[in-house]
Structure 1
Amino acid sequence: MNKYYERALKETNATTAEQMREVAKYCIIDALSYQRLMVKRNVINEYREVTSIAFISLFNTHYFAIGMKVRNLLSASVWQEGILTSTISCEQTETEKYPEAYIFPPVKGLENRRPVTGLNFALLYPSLIMTYNFSPDKIILSREHAETLKKSEHGNQAKMKSFYLKVLEELLIRRNALKRRLAPLNDRKEELEKEISLAEAKSEDITDGLKSEYSSVCFNDACLDTKQLALKVYMNTFYDEVGNSRSPFFLQALAGGVTSADFLYLVCLEECFQECDEAYDSGNGILKEEYWSRMVNISIKEIERLHDEVKVFLRNDNGTSYLKMDVLRETIKDISRTDHNEIIKTTVWKPDKDNKKPGERFEYVMVENNLSERVRDKIEYPEVAR
């Protein structure tokens, strides 16, 4: 394309004119593709949701980093308390290090013996900030001050809430309200998808009314989901701002306090699968599909029990309901309902299209069946997928 443009600058004829039309077509397609992606991903709705909260324009939401949106909302919040803050970046930043969150090294490889699941904190860092009242205006930097407050038994009074906690609490209430509205839409969407699949299986015509309702439900579902995800990202960004040394709200001790409270629970339910192992008997008993189906059901039951136990423990430990656990349900799948031919494929690769010799055969994993018609857009090689 650049060569076409350079050639057109030097001379003008029928060939260069045709080439410039091709350049113009490419530019139009490129510009429209960006707009289509914005529409498909509901980016404008996401921006509008943040704009309505952070007291900023749609232009600023699009062109400026999200840290500015956090500072703007915090400044508006403390202004209601009679405190005036500056959003100008600090020129003199703290250089001392604070302990970061500990990341366990991953165990690499493909786990194919058991269903894998776990418990993970929902909105971990915002939840930690709310649970322990982390904020520059409430932080206690000396042990003597902490002992004094402990003796006075000041308690978790509403008036003692920090401005970080108040802002995040309001955002959490907003997000939970959206998720409550989203739940019935998801249920209805699944029902309609089953009706459509059943009609297609029977080779029946899908009525216009069914198509219209499904389209409407999908649209409303996507809009609400985008809004709640925008709030989720926005809430998680408060932790980023806590660790931003150029932020007027940065405090080194505060940033270190948040990161030092990071945890992740991964569980292995090995002892719960003994009955399944005996029934399977290394392939001599029940079918493998039934074996895996039983293990998945056990995993779901046990992980939900553990989820409830951890929830009660956290409530008793810190006296709040901010720290909650999520079950990683998407990692559990009943493989008895999986068509392995849709996942594992074998193809022929030829490094040179003019090479007449047979190519090398290899396996690849389909990671998204409906992403594109092009194979290269939806494959991962086994060593990558692991």
Structure 2
Amino acid sequence: MKISNKKASRKFPGAHVFLPKKGLENKQPVTGLDFASLYPSIIMAFNLSLEKMVSTLSEADELQRENKVLHNIEFKYNGNPIRAWTIRHENKPDQKGLFPKILERLGRMQNEIKAQLKPIGKEKEYMGKVKSRMDASGSISIVDVIKDVLSSTENMKKRAKMVKILDPFIDLSYDNFIKEYNSACFAYSSLNSK
């Protein structure tokens, strides 16, 4: 693939790129990316990666003679038609470009972390109910508070799930319960920040 050294002298309609501000942003330092959202999905589906882009008709013809499947990209730039192609991956790992491979890997990692988060989130939620009830009532009897929380839960399936999670904490002291609760909160926060 040949890469041109020419730089665009005109602007593309419909897009504006803001210049980055140098420095550390402490107020909201993390941003999220949903790897199943529109742009990552398009990048993965159409194999949009620099090393899989073809910009000349002669190179596209040559690749088609080699039985490569190409995706045609056409748009107008300053009134002039622009044409390029990407080499389709046909779901073969050796045909995928760098960007699609990275996005797929990040998507798998995100799903794995979400799967790990789910049970910890429930544990944190149910233990939080017990802690809130203890704080509100001033009681430090774990057994009584857990029984109270369970009896106030009307949904039998949810109550059964709560029993499985809260049962191991019945014999703990207040201090040990709080340590376990803080540990669950820390584990959830750690995984949720990845």
Scaled by the length of structure 2, what TM-score is found?
0.49
The structure showing larger relative contact order (alpha-carbon pairs under 8 Å, at least 6 residues apart) is 1
Structure that is richer in helix per residue: 1
